[in-house]
Amino acid sequence: MKKILLSLAVLSMLTSSCASKKKFTEAQAKIVELEAARSKAVADCDKLMADLRTQLGTKDTDLQSRNSQLADLQNQLDYMKKTNTNLLDRLSDLSIVSKSGAESIRKSLETLNEQTKYVNNLNQSVQRKDSINLALVMNLKRSLADVNDQDVQVEVKKGVVYVSIADKLLFPVGRYEVNKPAELILGKVAQVVNDHKELDVLVQGHTDVYPISTDYLKDNWDLSVMRATSVVRVLQSKFAVRPERLTAGGRGEFEPKDDNTTSAGRRVNRRTEIILTPKLDQFFGLIAGQNK
């Protein structure tokens, strides 16, 4: 009997021990589960706090930007108020301008308008003259296309057209009589000149620095003038250029184009220039007509 009771007691103890171990295991699992839930809750809380800080930083930046814009608007408003005050002050000053002062201002404005109109008309006249010069250059170059470019040059200088012809084409050495073959070149120039009757013609002779002295020529002044006169006579007598349009002059060696210390430079300097200039009376008459 005692053995039976002892066996029952031992069985009871073993059963009770197994139940306690199971509860302990369940409790441990619950603790682990709670710890995981706590960790997740802490992580979620940290993330929420970080998001809140980011949003707060963004809001702060936006607030600073809006404050800056508000300050700029306030500055602009202050400037406009100041400008408006200045305008009102000026308007007040103008309101007390005397009748004579107002009349003086009106006359000054009329004078300024007239001057502006004159300058505009002058610019238009100059542009027209430039267009005429361009047409002249093109016509002359077309007429002289078969002549050596080194011996005959056409260019615009100082607002007028220059035709520069080397003396070796026009004259014998040291002489002023025009060569017969050179008359062909002068004839081509004369044709263009006769097509533009609004232009005057100035013929200038030029020499190098080597002096000359003969029975008929005292110095380079004489030679340059006589050569220009010879060209003018050919233009008038051979090609019917009106004499009142012609002027002959000489510059001697005093307007060189190149270096007189070299043979090439002296060759360039020995030249006769036919200068096509606008008639000044017609030029200014054109301006006067535009101002009416």
d(CA 285, CA 291) in angstroms, rounded, equals: 10
pLDDT at 136: 78
Q: For the chain, how many structural domains are there in total? A: 1
270 in any annotated domain: yes
CATH number at residue 234: 3.30.1330.60
19 in any annotated domain: no
172 in any annotated domain: yes
pLDDT at 269: 96
108 in any annotated domain: no
170 in any annotated domain: yes
pLDDT at 190: 96
pLDDT at 72: 77
- DSSP summary character for residue 243: G
Q: Which pair of tokens denotes residue 182?
A: 């050179």
pLDDT at 88: 63
Q: Which pair of tokens denotes residue 277?
A: 């200039």
pLDDT at 44: 72
pLDDT at 126: 57
Q: With 0-12 CB in 10 A as exposed, 13-18 as middle and 19+ as buried, what is 44?
A: exposed
pLDDT at 119: 59
Closest CA to 275 of 74, 119, 133: 133
d(CA 183, CA 239) in angstroms, rounded, equals: 9
d(CA 169, CA 152) in angstroms, rounded, equals: 9
Q: Full-prediction pTM beyond 0.75?
A: no
pLDDT at 223: 97
194 in any annotated domain: yes
pLDDT at 81: 73
69 in any annotated domain: no
pLDDT at 53: 73
Q: What is the mean pLDDT of each run of 10 residues along the chain (292 residues)?
A: 53 57 74 80 74 67 72 77 69 59 70 65 58 79 80 90 95 94 94 92 97 92 97 98 97 96 95 89 52 50
pLDDT at 9: 55
74 in any annotated domain: no
By residue range, what is the domain housing residue 186? 127-282
